[in-house]
Amino acid sequence: MIQINDHLTPADLSSKLTRFWELSAKKIRLIDAEYDTTKGSPVFTAAGKYTTRGWTEWTQGFQYGSSILQFDATGDSYFLDEGRRQTVQAMAPHVSHIGVHDHGFNNVSTYGNLLRLMREGRIPQQDWEQHFYELALKISGAVQASRWTTIKNGGFIHSFNGPHSLFVDTIRSCRALVVSHSLGHVFQAENDIRINLLDRALQHIKATADYSVFYGEGRDSYDVWGRTAHESVFNTKDGNFRCPNSQQGYTGFSTWTRGLAWAMCGFPEQLEYLNTLPDTELEPFGGREAVEAWMLKAATATCDFYIEYTPTDGVPYWDTGAPFLHLLGDYLDRPADPFNAFEPVDSSAAAIGAQGLLRLGNYLTAKGDHEAGQRYTRAGLTVLNTLLDEPYLSTDPAHQGLLLHSIYHRPNGWDYIPAGSPIPYGESSMWGDYHLRELALYVQRLADPTQPYYTFFNCLPR
């Protein structure tokens, strides 16, 4: 399990964060200079160069969002100009993209971050620009909500696999729905039926909590507190749950660690968002106490599982049930080894999951549970401390990636495997790079009490 550093504070990482942002700037400029945009969105690196995978273009918002985060952290206007220009030039198709479950990734990372900077006073207030970002976010949330499957006890935003498919990843796209809702938008369907976007977001989050997360309550033979399934499959004829499954993990009965990380991050940030709502808005869903209880249970369970089933330095292997992990011996009792001969690690899961640990820690501390809050906070800082050093931080000036040893799709064999190695290692992903930047910005702000606490919903009116 993770060996939590009980003495680490955000301020302790300040010098590492300064170095990190210097490297990050060089990586963004390198991609701007070298990447051929006619090939599509950059997804992951092969031999140090970003390449693409024509699937759903789900990473383009991370590319341009990275520039916006770089400006946020450093104040370098080059990155604001590029992030804003590229968002206006390239992101409109993502706003109306009805074929994916990734609106929170693409559009909150770009339009949302730009609007947030304006609300925080980091860029000048201009009404036309504000309305442009708001309109994009309003429509994005409604389009995302249109991918809807009704089940016996609610509903969910279905994945690109089809209406039977609930992905654990999609919890982070609920950001698009709640931002749209809080901007005053209503999704109008057939016959002008007005659909409440908060309702759809909470139904989806509840379905994720009920079917994607396990609680050790005897659901099946592999039911362990906090384990997650990548995909939950439903019978769309009668709305019944059928089975867990996995697209990018090893099986539906093991835990794909990046899917776990999406849940770890998604539940706590939605708990934080609930604090912006009046009690009356939550009464139709059982009231604040009930909603917060099931959401906190899922957040706590997933974070606990991560801490227990991750190596001591906080970086997980790509799946907790990967078939050759047993050949590594007592791999949970020592730091992860990205250069081993049997199973790859996934540093992108660490970057995503660490933010979840930190947000859960902050939430619990604010609620008065200081002991638990400090445990999760220090666990998150322990993970980040690992990622800010080699072999995870990319210092090679010719390598376009920032966070090394990220894995995309091990079952499909999409990851680059270096010559002479039996497994992929040493490469980066656009989501890993983005989420490490988001994590670094979050902690940088924690270390500076003059800065506003970083949330996705800082883009909303105050």
Angle at 117 between CA 113 and CA 122, to 5 degrees: 155
Dump pLDDT digits (tens) for 208-225. Answer: 999 999 999 999 999 999
Are 416 and 430 in contact, with CB atoms under 8 Å apart? no
Q: What is residue 57's predicted lDDT score, i.e. its pLDDT? A: 87
Partners of 146 in the beta sheet? Answer: none
Partners of 50 in the beta sheet? Answer: 45
462 pLDDT above the threshold of 90: no
Segment 49-53 long-range contacts (CB within 8 Å, at least 24 positions apart)? 49/400, 50/400, 50/401, 50/428, 50/430, 53/408, 53/414
Dump pLDDT digits (tens) for 274-297. Answer: 999 999 999 999 999 999 999 999
pLDDT band (50, 70, 90) for residue 359: very high
* CATH placement of domain 146-459: 1.50.10.10
Give CA–CA dist 363/370, Å, rounded. 10
Dump pLDDT digits (tens) for 13-56. Answer: 999 999 999 999 999 999 999 999 888 899 999 999 999 987 77
Backbone angles phi, psi at 231, to 5 degrees: -125, 140
269 pLDDT above the threshold of 80: yes
Q: What is the mean pLDDT of residues 417-431?
A: 98
User: What are the domain boundaries of the chain?
Assistant: 146-459
Query: For the chain, what is the mean pLDDT?
Result: 97
Backbone angles phi, psi at 86, to 5 degrees: -70, -35
pTM: predicted TM-score of the whole model, two decimal places: 0.98
